[in-house]
A and B are shown apart, each in its own frame.
Chain A
């Protein structure tokens, strides 16, 4: 077990990352902050379970994921609700939206409205740069399950973002 000072320092160092991770999972900043707040309370309670043999970041993110799941369990409808302005693939001219500079937000919104497990996997793999093996361990699922969810997530995102394929370079 790490000593208290080291633990506090680790926590403060990783707060920023945890907050960004939570925002990616929830899709908005206030909900992300709430998630991290609850995660902090749990982390304080579970401080002695962290023995330092795993990455602190993984440990903290695991708590954030657990809080995220509990939150979804309590508020399932809110979590599954899709925002009104997610890209409509039948829109006449989706490139117009992209030109308006909304593509980046749209992509983020699409990621944050995937089914929870797919969302967790793709955020960890695509944005936190973890391998599927590590992501699977963090999420408490098998590696095959992680790969399947990743593939499903990519399929869903491809379907939703298909109208924008080819426009991405124009945004750079």
Chain B
């Protein structure tokens, strides 16, 4: 190895070069490079291009125009971006020294007032003395008091005090270290103090918070912290976070946490797309969130999954496992204009027939002949013995028996 240096370097030694050639550093683990590549993709996509060079100005509050640019036209309370705190405080200290020092200098001038300052100070009007024309009989000229010098106190009253100057210069909201706040919140969320973490971040502006959260996700390898980041992003993130959360939701490790955010930000469409993924974990989480939304379009999307052979089992399993299934909406769907949707709703209600309210509602519908076919379809889909007993008893009536046979045929045809 030729360690190029000055020719007259006393330390040039071929033996040393030979030794240096042998140096062997620890090899990075293979996944290290993969992680870095993934991180670059995440960071590269997360960091908005609108953060221009101007926004890298070291003092956050001094870069107000670029912050407005990033946030639209509305002036917002400013927080710190990721600039070096030391530089910020130095700049703030310099401003304070200038303001205080300048005012002190003015105040300590012994009666002297700078010309241009005096020009701006309102001066009490003095009556003009008009010389009277010569009189034949000299009369005493009225004497007016000589114009007194402008009182120093009057001038100084117009000069803003250091406190007033600072009030003008200081941003309206306190400067908050967003990165530190986000880090603390992630720690709290990872320690199961999720409510406190959310509360602490809600006070801050959304954009920098979600940006810092995304960066925190990209720069940590701990799954616990990553989950905390995703939960926080799902709770606090804006529309810009939706694609990022959707990507995270495809990962079985983070699907449960990310899906909540996807549902909040994206609504039904991304959930339906995620429900079609090949991964069973994310698929079930997506269907679960779809059911948790409970809205009519969500139920319609769910019924389409029940009618789909490839998705039916997962859809019904998710419904069965749902803590708050949309029973009302499913019962309402028994009245749908399309037969297949009505039967899909009946099949879904059959999955929920272990719930007393559903079971009783279905029996009442059979007894009162209100959506009897669909109610029978639901009870035929119900695996409980009580439902079977009820059907067998009802079939003793010939009209119902014929209807049960028709419903069975329909069920076989559809499912």
Contact = CB atoms under 8 A, between A and B. Distances in A.
Contacts of B1: 126
Given A8-B40, A19-B33, A19-B36, A154 B47 contact: no
User: Which of B5, B33, B35, B47 has its CB near the most chain A CB atoms (within 10 A)?
Assistant: B5
A169 to B, nearest CB: 7
B16 to A, nearest CB: 5
A15 B56 contact: no
A155 interface: yes
A108 B53 contact: no
Q: How large is the interface on A (under 10, 10 to 19, 20 to 34, 35 or more residues)?
A: 35 or more
A161 to B, nearest CB: 5
A15 B24 contact: no
Interface string B1-45: 101111001111101101111111111110011011101110110
Nearest to A73: B86
5 contacts: A20-B28, A33-B36, A38-B219, A44-B43, A132-B5
Nearest to A104: B24
Contacts of A158: 11, 13, 16
Interface string A143-172: 000010011101101100100111011010
Contacts of A49: 53
B71 interface: no
Interface string A27-59: 111001100111011001111110000000000
A45 B57 CA distance: 12
B39 A151 contact: no
B47 A44 contact: yes
Contact of B52 (A48, A126, A151, A166): A48
Which 3 residue pairs of A and B lie closest in terms of their CB atoms, listed nearest first?
A104-B24, A154-B11, A107-B23
Interface residues of B, number: 45
B365 interface: no
Interface of B: 1, 3-6, 9-13, 15-16, 18-29, 32-33, 35-37, 39-41, 43-44, 46-47, 49, 51-53, 56, 82, 215, 218-219
A161 B16 contact: yes
Contact of B22 (A19, A33, A168): A168
Given A29-B32, A105-B24, A37 B219 contact: yes
B206 to A, nearest CB: 19
User: Which of B9, B20, B35, B41 has its CB near the most chain A CB atoms (within 10 A)?
Assistant: B20
Chain A binding site: helix, strand, loop or mixed by DSSP? Answer: helix
A131 B2 CA distance: 11
Given A8-B40, A48-B52, A147-B6, A33 B32 contact: yes
Interface string A86-124: 000000000000000001110110011000000000100
A112 B39 CA distance: 26
B217 to A, nearest CB: 12
B252 to A, nearest CB: 24
A125 B53 contact: no
A107 B3 contact: no
Given A44-B43, A44-B44, A168-B22, A15 B28 contact: no
Contact of A23 (B10, B18, B28, B40): B28
A150 B21 CA distance: 16
Given A15-B37, A19-B33, A44-B47, A154 B16 contact: yes
Given A12-B37, A19-B28, A125-B4, A154 B12 contact: yes
Nearest to B47: A44
Contacts of B20: 107, 111, 126, 157
Given A155-B11, A165-B15, A37 B36 contact: yes
Contacts of A4: 44, 49
A79 interface: no
